[in-house]
Structure 1
Amino acid sequence: MDITAELEREFGNWPGIVAAWGTLQPDAIALDDGYHRISWGALSGQVDRIAAQLIADGLQRGQAVAILGTTGIPYALAYLAAIRAGGCAAPLTTSATPRQLANMLADSGAIHLFIDGDKRAELLASGVDLGTARHVMLDAAAGETPSLSEWMAPEGSVPDIAPPQPGDAFNIIYSSGTTGTPKGIVHSHAMRWRQSVAGFQAIYSEQARAILSTPLYSNTTLAVFLPTIVHGGMVRLMGKFDSGQWLNAAQAMRATHTMLVPVQYQRLMSDPAFDSHDLSSMQVKFCTSAPFSAELKAEALRRFPGGLVEIYGMTEGGVVCMLQAHNFPDKLHTVG
């Protein structure tokens, strides 16, 4: 595949591009979660192996693949493999109650649940009905339930799947459930292509180095994770947010992109060590998910290198309004 030509198309093969990066730059680092790093060659190979096993297990085109656990490399591999297999990734909210999680799993129609040990123990102890979905552990095997590395297809396996069509489901993002049971919002391949590829060549490239400290089940995180990955960049996935750890990691990796929610901007701006860190490599900072005060935006523009983009309505509409704060510093009181 000619990746450059594919990225310039009005609509293209998103999972095919991710697979092709493994051939083009096999030794470049794709993901780092603070415990392990994985190269593009290894990522492409493992995503293919997981996708091939999903299909061998009976996954149908467009069918959901549920994922529940702590953000890390195994989680990201399962998410990407679901799409590579022609399925639909369904990341489940870890903060939801066991009953809500059981309802989301049933609603998704998933026949696979990739899960880590802590969440599986919590759900089993709650006694909720988890249906018949096959469990695959994102961390260590649990009894007869295999780990991801044990379960995936043999090395060299490649899924036999036709390229996606614009209307095919890419993922299901479940709402917070503040008005009742969390509701699934389906994003198509056309929407994700528009959000992560179309017109983004000026913002992302294989030189992009994104640092993300919000969970992968959130569309907030995916809004930077997906374009960085499809453009062949590197993503640093962090666990629980800590301003000092974030600053050290961003400086060390020469981060170029990030997504932060307003409270994280506040904590970074308040950290006594903020101004002593070199963040000059930062190109674009994004913010969403909560009100972002004009005063805090102004401080971020003054002290935090790189552009600042605030987004609203991202999950339901794929971006409803946007403020490029660095281009419109007199509009900081607005949301678009």
Structure 2
Amino acid sequence: MHNHGLGSWMAKRRLKSPDTTALVYGDGSVMTYRQLADGADRVSALLWGRGIRKGDRVAYLGENSPEFLEVLFGAVQLGAVFVPVNTRLAPPEIAHVLGDSGARALIHDPEFAARLEPVLEGLDVPHVIQTGEGTAERPGLARIVRTTTAGHADAQVTLDDAAAIVYTSGTTGRSKGAVLSHQNLTWVALNCIVDYDVVSTDVALMISPLFHVASLGMGALPVILKGGTLVLEKGFDAGRALALIQRHSVTMLSGVPTTYQLLADHPDWATTDISSLAKLTCGGSAVPNRILNAYEQRGLSFSQGYGMTETSPGATALSPEMTRTKQGSVGLPHFFTDVRIADEHGAMVPRGTVGEIEISGPNVFPGYHGLTDATAAAFTADGWFRSGDLGYLDSDGYLYISDRLKDMIISGGENIYPAEVENVISDLDGISGVAVIGVPDDQWGEVPWAIVTLRDGASVTTDQVRAHLDGKLARYKLPKNVVVVDELPRTASGKVRKADLRARFAG
């Protein structure tokens, strides 16, 4: 084969485990690896027939489904670049992703058609196809591929070629497209197989959306690489998730602390048979003691970790047996990844000293799409990725996170960059200054608050600010509270001292 990237995976899975269940979805429908591979082939042939070639971007806007994976693998078979779009984005944000990536094809679930109408009017996306059957006048993906002759396109693809562009919330107000190569996604899958002991008999319940790089890179891809089974869920409902764990003897589950809290708080928690569960991974923020206790009472412990889109996303992992011994740590570097700590001058610091976390390994991305300066700034002179986060390594090499240089807020596993929210709030009449910070929240880990100053005679309410932002930003980015202050604390250079605001409002 000439395709040495993800585009070869389906053909090899069809050869090695054709009749193994690859996917369980909906009300229990099943798809084998042969069927998944055949579906990817038909999508590949469809895209080829529409003129999609190596390097072209194919965007997907939809929930977890077989079509998501068929389009992903169909696109990379051609050497095309897959662009997953967060379904929670507002129209202007979707427009930015499609326009910035230069998507030549967009495949989307029907329920997003109305949201896409104003977006597509101002963009040149030559090929737009809905999933499902569609109509005779406007056939959907399922109807089209039934009449498409499957043919595996063996494109010339190397591990260094781009496989996906995943958009991150921008620290300067615009999201950046992180280019992930075939190497990045292959090695992060291998890291998970090594450090989480993924095996071919694993059954993973995918309750997190596949458009998130954590769900895709550290959930779906390792399981597919090993020939295991994915149970795809379009959304998260705690009662349904518990029922699926019992019904399908789920062995693997990934989520954020909120996910696990909602499961443990559900009335069916105590009576559901979860004895099959063996591997729980959690990211986004530290797991609180009460959640650890609830799962330990059922004989379960967590693998916790740290990473970001730019590391595909895994950088470190804390093994379950060290959850209590190293509580508060995000673990050791993944097997094929290295982590070091540097001071503000780039010099390495001793163990126990706080500095910027820097990461190296084949899972680290090559750069941001179309942003040469941002890419250069993201790496050290010797090629290590600068995370923008502060932390330290203890005497045993375990990483602890101290603070976020970029002021990022993580709410229910979703990354929120304050600058993006602040830019839109600033457009509201009467606002003279704004700073968005994260405030601890029992359910979501933390939630955004907006601290604002007003022009003379102006007034504003939380509802007014949220209404102004609604439709411009994803709803999870909307401040849960707006506080009016006389002035914002600033440095001599005029920069807002967010540490002071966090100490006052989030302490």
Normalised TM-score (structure 1): 0.88
1:130 and 2:128 aligned? no
Q: Specify which of 90, 102, 121 is matched with residue 97 of structure 1.
A: 90
Is the 8 Å Cα contact of residues 50 and 127 (structure 2) preserved in structure 1? no
What are the superposed Cα offsets for residues 37-58 of structure 1, whole Å, 9 maximum, x if unpaired? 2121111111011112212322
1:214 and 2:208 aligned? yes
Q: Which residue pairs with 2:52 in the alignment?
A: 59
Secondary structure (helix, strand or coil) at the match of 2:150 reads coil
What are the superposed Cα offsets for residues 126-175 of structure 1, whole Å, 9 maximum, x if unpaired? 67523233111112325744311233375652233235312111111111
Q: Which residue pairs with 1:317 in the alignment?
A: 311
Q: Which residue pairs with 1:85 in the alignment?
A: 78
Give aligned pairs, total.
326
Secondary structure (helix, strand or coil) at the match of 1:172 reads strand
1:296 to 1:82, Cα distance in 2 relative to 1, 3 A = farther
1:237 to 1:256, Cα distance in 2 relative to 1, 3 A = same
1: CA distance, partners of 2:155 / 2:77: 10
Normalised TM-score (structure 2): 0.60
Is the 8 Å Cα contact of residues 303 and 323 (structure 2) preserved in structure 1? no
Q: Which residue pairs with 1:229 in the alignment?
A: 224
State the shift of 1:286 in Å. 1.1
Q: Which residue pairs with 2:38 in the alignment?
A: 45
Q: Which moved more, 1:312-321 or 1:64-73?
A: 312-321
1: CA distance, partners of 2:189 / 2:272: 29
Is the 8 Å Cα contact of residues 283 and 305 (structure 1) preserved in structure 2? no
State the shift of 1:101 in Å. 0.6
Name the one with the larger strand percent. Answer: 2
1:127 to 1:67, Cα distance in 2 relative to 1, 3 A = closer
Q: Which residue pairs with 1:7 in the alignment?
A: none
Secondary structure (helix, strand or coil) at the match of 1:207 reads coil
Secondary structure (helix, strand or coil) at the match of 1:83 reads helix
Name the one with the larger helix percent. Answer: 1
Q: Which residue pairs with 2:248 in the alignment?
A: 253
State the shift of 1:247 in Å. 0.6
1:188 and 2:181 aligned? yes
2: CA distance, partners of 1:149 / 1:305: 43
2: CA distance, partners of 1:145 / 1:183: 33
Unpaired segments of 5 or more residues in structure 2? 332-507
2: CA distance, partners of 1:51 / 1:127: 23
Secondary structure (helix, strand or coil) at the match of 2:71 reads helix
Unpaired segments of 5 or more residues in structure 1? 2-10
Matched to 1:42, the amino acid is: Q
Is the 8 Å Cα contact of residues 219 and 315 (structure 1) preserved in structure 2? yes
State the shift of 1:258 in Å. 1.4
Q: Specify which of 9, 14, 21 is matched with residue 17 of structure 1.
A: 9
1:107 to 1:304, Cα distance in 2 relative to 1, 3 A = farther
2: CA distance, partners of 1:128 / 1:147: 20
1: CA distance, partners of 2:39 / 2:46: 11
1:15 to 1:132, Cα distance in 2 relative to 1, 3 A = closer
1: CA distance, partners of 2:81 / 2:299: 36
1:175 to 1:143, Cα distance in 2 relative to 1, 3 A = farther
1:276 and 2:271 aligned? yes
What are the superposed Cα offsets for residues 199-244 of structure 1, whole Å, 9 maximum, x if unpaired? 7267223211100111111112112111111211110111221111
1:167 to 1:300, Cα distance in 2 relative to 1, 3 A = farther
2: CA distance, partners of 1:37 / 1:254: 15
Give the superposed CA RMSD: 2.5
2: CA distance, partners of 1:306 / 1:83: 37
What are the superposed Cα offsets for residues 47-98 of structure 1, whole Å, 9 maximum, x if unpaired? 0111122123222213221001222122222122112222111010111111
2: CA distance, partners of 1:158 / 1:239: 29
1:170 to 1:305, Cα distance in 2 relative to 1, 3 A = farther
Matched to 1:281, the amino acid is: S
Is the 8 Å Cα contact of residues 298 and 332 (structure 1) preserved in structure 2? no
2: CA distance, partners of 1:227 / 1:62: 24
Who wins on radius of gyration, i.e. which is larger? Answer: 2
Q: Specify which of 17, 31, 35 is matched with residue 23 of structure 2.
A: 31
1:285 and 2:277 aligned? no
Percent identity, aligned pairs only, is 27
Secondary structure (helix, strand or coil) at the match of 2:99 reads helix
What are the superposed Cα offsets for residues 251-292 of structure 1, whole Å, 9 maximum, x if unpaired? 111111111111011111212321322222222111123x22
2: CA distance, partners of 1:300 / 1:166: 42
1:183 to 1:54, Cα distance in 2 relative to 1, 3 A = same
1:300 to 1:57, Cα distance in 2 relative to 1, 3 A = farther
State the shift of 1:303 in Å. 3.2
Secondary structure (helix, strand or coil) at the match of 1:278 reads coil
What are the superposed Cα offsets for residues 165-186 of structure 1, whole Å, 9 maximum, x if unpaired? 1211111111145752222111
